[in-house]
Amino acid sequence: MPPTMGNGKICYMEIPSFDIERSAEFYGTVFGWKTRRRGDGSTAFDDSVGEVSGTWVIGRAPAVVPGFMIYVMVDSVAATLDAAIANGGELVQPIGADAPEITARFRDPAGNVIGEIGTGRPRILLCGHMDTIPGLLPVKVENDRVYGRGAVDAKSSLASMIVACLQAIGTEEASFHATLVGVVEEETSTKGIQQVISDHQPYDLAVFGEPSGSRNVTIGYKGHLRARLSCSTRGGHSASPWISRNSFDEAVKLWTKLESSFFTNGEVSKFNALTGCVTKMAAGNDTNTIPATAQLDLDIRIPPGLTIETVEQRVTRICIDQEMQSGGDLVVSASFENRCPAFLGKNDSTSVRAFRMAIRQLTGQQTTLIKKTGTSDMNLLAEEYNIPMVVYGPGNSALDHTDNEHVSIPEYLESIRITMIAIRKMVRLYNNGSPEVATPLQHIG
């Protein structure tokens, strides 16, 4: 049936999205909207009764605060809300707030939150992540400290960048275009930063919000790789352990060989060492059998100068050697995921110089440059953007992912002032094209 025609009828909608396929799946599952492919290859939708059509658009920021609201008629608000949440939506307003009308509000899984301010050049990317690891902590303020999940990693960094950018914009010292992105899934899939990269915006400078301490700057992160190693044997009854190799024993031998001859966890400089550990191990299904299969999950951190391909090849070679030494009684395999290369920025880049100058101006102290053994979204952006970038934010990263996570309020406020000054100095250095005279630096790594 063709849609009703008439002057003034609402007929078409454009919905912001960061992943059109995911948005189409969400609205189709929750509301029964039908999707179709246009002649130009773009995706369009029709509502469940064929009266309103539209599309999802990339590059347009979703609303952060309510403005123009769209309500969709459903058979059951409660059931639909459950479906929305089950498919990645987020509850914004529960049922009952608009009584006697039965309504609820949700945010669809569009993903990143993006704010734009200013015009011209330089284009500065200010990027922080909104997600945290699972597990809520009581939020409290005690002794000039804010406690709670994400207080350090990395809500305070994101908040300080927002405030600092607003303070820096529009002054005589700084005219620039800033894009502030609150990305999703930094702790898991890195989907958020992948979307930022795929948008191909012409950024000139970048600052990532992560805890460095308000008087330190992070310039490097190690690379990351996850490996799953599997050992398979014939197995058999546990009453006759001599009839088959034990896959558990073989997995332990494999890890021992990797730990002693491959990883360099004992090096003094952890940043320059190839480090790794077992994060999970599983073997066997019954209490009366020799385990026929065992799996090791490894977390590997890779220093600059060593490629992920080289690490994969060396791990695979060690697995093959152990299999060959078994005389045919053992099969060893390796698979890899979460590949992320190491990144080490220049200690005299525009971004680093700006923060050094800002820290010195506000505190009178020299800056300590930090090289971290973890991995951040900056690693991935650096694969595609050859621009000055730096990581900065309040807090002690040793408190990340702990039950004692907290950030000092005075340090948080200091980081806002330093970031504001640094943004202004980044703009000046970019426009002048003249580097600051280098001063002695301290390095931790």
* Residue 308: predicted pLDDT: 96
The boundaries of the domain holding residue 72 are: 12-107
238 and 322 part of one domain: yes
pLDDT band at 437 (very low <50, low <70, confident <90, very high): very low
Whether residue 4 is contained in a domain is answered as no
374 and 317 part of one domain: no
At which of 57, 72, 107 does a domain end? 107
* Residue 439: predicted pLDDT: 39
CATH classification at residue 173: 3.40.630.10
* pLDDT tens-digit map of 284-300: 888 899 999 999 999 99
Helix 156-168 / helix 409-432 crossing angle, nearest 10 deg: 50
pLDDT band at 438 (very low <50, low <70, confident <90, very high): very low
pLDDT band at 442 (very low <50, low <70, confident <90, very high): very low
Task: Decide if 422 contacts 362 (C-beta within 8 A).
Answer: no
The stretch 168-193 carries a mean pLDDT of 81
- β-strand partners of 344: 220
Q: Which of 25, 51, 131, 436 is catalytic?
A: 131
120 and 182 part of one domain: yes
Peptide bond just before 122 cis, omega within 30 deg:
yes
pLDDT at residue 435 tops 50? no
* Residue 84: predicted pLDDT: 82
171 and 248 part of one domain: no
The stretch 111-117 carries a mean pLDDT of 77
* pLDDT tens-digit map of 33-80: 899 988 888 889 888 888 888 888 876 656 555 667 777 887 888 888
Whether residue 6 is contained in a domain is answered as no
* pLDDT tens-digit map of 238-260: 999 999 999 999 999 999 999 99
170 and 244 part of one domain: no
Whether residue 356 is contained in a domain is answered as yes
Would residue 19 show up in a list of annotated catalytic residues for this protein?
A: no
Q: Which of 185, 186, 400, 411 is catalytic?
A: 186
Peptide bond just before 62 cis, omega within 30 deg:
no
Q: Is the pTM of this model over 0.75?
A: no
231 and 308 part of one domain: yes
40 and 103 part of one domain: yes
Would residue 90 show up in a list of annotated catalytic residues for this protein?
A: no
179 and 204 part of one domain: yes
- Domains of the chain: total: 3
Task: Decide if 276 contacts 301 (C-beta within 8 A).
Answer: yes
Whether residue 194 is contained in a domain is answered as yes
- β-strand partners of 13: 54
Whether residue 103 is contained in a domain is answered as yes
140 and 100 part of one domain: no
115-to-127, 169, 223, 409, 413 alpha-carbon distances in Å: 10, 13, 29, 25, 22
* Residue 21: predicted pLDDT: 80
Whether residue 3 is contained in a domain is answered as no
Whether residue 2 is contained in a domain is answered as no
C-alpha atoms less than 13 angstroms from C-alpha of 44 in its C-beta half-sphere:
14
CATH classification at residue 85: 3.10.180.10
Q: Which of 5-14, 162-171, 221-230 has the highest mean pLDDT?
A: 221-230
185 and 273 part of one domain: no
Whether residue 377 is contained in a domain is answered as yes
Say which range, 69-78, 135-144, 196-205, 266-275, has the weakest mean pLDDT: 69-78
pLDDT at residue 155 tops 80? yes
188 and 90 part of one domain: no
At which of 75, 107, 139 does a domain end? 107
At which of 274, 308, 339 does a domain end? 339
CATH classification at residue 308: 3.30.70.360
87 and 174 part of one domain: no
**Percentage of residues of the chain with pLDDT beyond 90:** 58
pLDDT at residue 313 tops 60? yes
